Structure 1
Amino acid sequence: MWCDACGGQSHRIDVIYLINSDRHCTVQHTMTINITVYDFWDLRKAANQKFLIDPIHPQDYLCRYPKELGAGYYRWIRLREGITIEILETYLPQSIKWITHAHHQNSLEFGFILAGSGQDFDGQRTKSGEDYIFGGVYPQSNNSIDEAGNLRWVSLIIKPETLRTLIESYGEQLPQDIEKAIAGVPEYFNLRPSLITPAKQVALQQILHCPYQGLTRKMYLESKVLELVSLKLADQVAMPTEKLLRLQEIDPIHHAREILLRNIGNPPSLIDLARQVGINEYTLKRGFRQIFGTTVFGYLHDYRMEQAKQLLLSGQIKVEQVAQIVGYVNRSRFASAFRKKYGINPKAYQTQKNI
């Protein structure tokens, strides 16, 4: 939003909506919009006197994002009772800080950030390419921020009883931490962020670009929801006996990964890597297993092999050079590692793919 109140010069303003008995608002001059969730709902309601029905998919509902805050829309796709897909596509010209009050959410939200970044309620940075499970008690906070720019988010909104029925129909039980989130235990509000893996990315794109209509479309979308839920639950139960990472430990793990990949030819030792990112070696190893599903050097090995495969596919680099680029001094050791990973010698792979 813009203000012409000061000497006729337009500049960005910060509208702070404060809830009180007469529901007034005040204006301060900053670069960020501060708004309560309740007043956001009021703005959204004013922008949408009735939900817009998608003419192509009449069972879907569209909702304009309040023009005072940005441009874009929400979209809801209602599937079976207790399961809804929510898609947010918007552009924020300025950052938004959310003022929230503690409350209990009745549904679990499996959130997947495809674009955009910000901060969560406790100041932990959220990033594009990560997914989360929200549930239980939302804390009172003034720390949640959506940063200016494009924001694209797919959320699966699932009633606890629906999720429990689905899981128990397969003879399984809900993971313990999700049970606690459903029960409203505050410290389990935000459950173990993890990366959106290629498998999750495919399912998300299939939701966003579903080619079907009618009943086939609803069944197809529901199958994608179940696929994403199963993949995310697999993240949650991967280390059931190990203490979960604290949110403030997640950024250093990602930083460690970046350092590792910048130095694939001469990677630092575990203790040096941990020191560089400000955590201890145990947390580094535990974090890699929880976030990436493998050890630090297991992750490096897989990355080296994938890079080697891409270099070999180019057909422009000799096997010896590829080995050196990805950090192997000895060609025979490289060939052995490549063969163990892909079941074929690097030279044979290069020749076969370039015929």
Structure 2
Amino acid sequence: MIYGDEYCVHMAPGFDPEVASTAELRALFENATCISRFHASSDNRFIKYISDSALGRSHCYKLDEDRMIEINDSFLREPIVIHNEVADLISFQFVSSVKRSEFLGERKNVHDLGPAIIVSALPGRELTYRVPKVNETIRHVVVYTTLSNLMERMGENSEDYPGWLRDILDGEHDQPRQRVLFLEDVHRELTWSFFHLPVSGRLLNHWMFAKFHELLSIGLQILKNDQAYLERGAEHPAVPHGDIIRRATTILNREYANPPTLPQLARHLGISETQLKSGFKSLHGATIRQYIIARRVEAARLLLNENRHSISEIADIVGYQDHSAFSRAFRRLNGCTPKGWRRSHRH
């Protein structure tokens, strides 16, 4: 895993990193400030850095050559661009709460959609440029680990994972890929202790190792391909109807980009299509199609804020082959186009 030092510059009004040329980006960072020099900790057991305090509170703990944790609790008042070099890594960014805003006339309603993970796989060497949001609290925890030896280190079988990740692990795809996975409420408190560290000194090293493996294991378990699970056929579980519908929700939270058909999902859950549709509408106040579209748009918003992909790439990632349909759905739920959303959240 390569995770190079991060460099920062303040962004001039009107500058758009997405449309800037490679030469313009290089020139921008000629006199950049290094904000993340790794240095030995006091007990030499692991390496950490603390970003420039003017940019917020960001702590990173590099446990060894294969493992690193970033804890970000920032509030930026001026637009900046952050640049570094990475290679051969996969990251799991845990976001404790995803908010969705809706306008009913002049009234704004904010819905809590629960926690999510942004999974990023970068097999080759990449120069990254990120534009964090301003005037908004940025709070998340990210675990980074080496991608090429991940399955071997974890004792896992790559066949249990989604095709897009298997393609990277097998060397059939060499470009970065990202996915957004929505989690259950039980996962909401996973990162709370990172912002209220319960230990210090030499114990912090042991605690960080344990938390790293907890989050990585949970991220991998959630990443395992629900689509392959669906193909094994119906289970006919003897559980309450409400729990069956919640299981459907879990599947759609992970497979919204390529969801099972209604007959597939009903057959797997062991209920009729009519029971599935009525039960889902009763639980969520929305049809399955409406729910999938909302999840796709929420995932797109997170990826737009990450600023790693073009808008057309994000449309593909969240499940839209028709990019015009993506733009229409996004505008209907957010009141602006994806491009307008990205522009407004930089300033």
Instruction: Output the TM-score relative to the length of structure 1.
Output: 0.47
Computing the radius of gyration over CA atoms, which structure comes out larger, 1 or 2? 1
> TM-score under structure 2 normalisation?
0.48
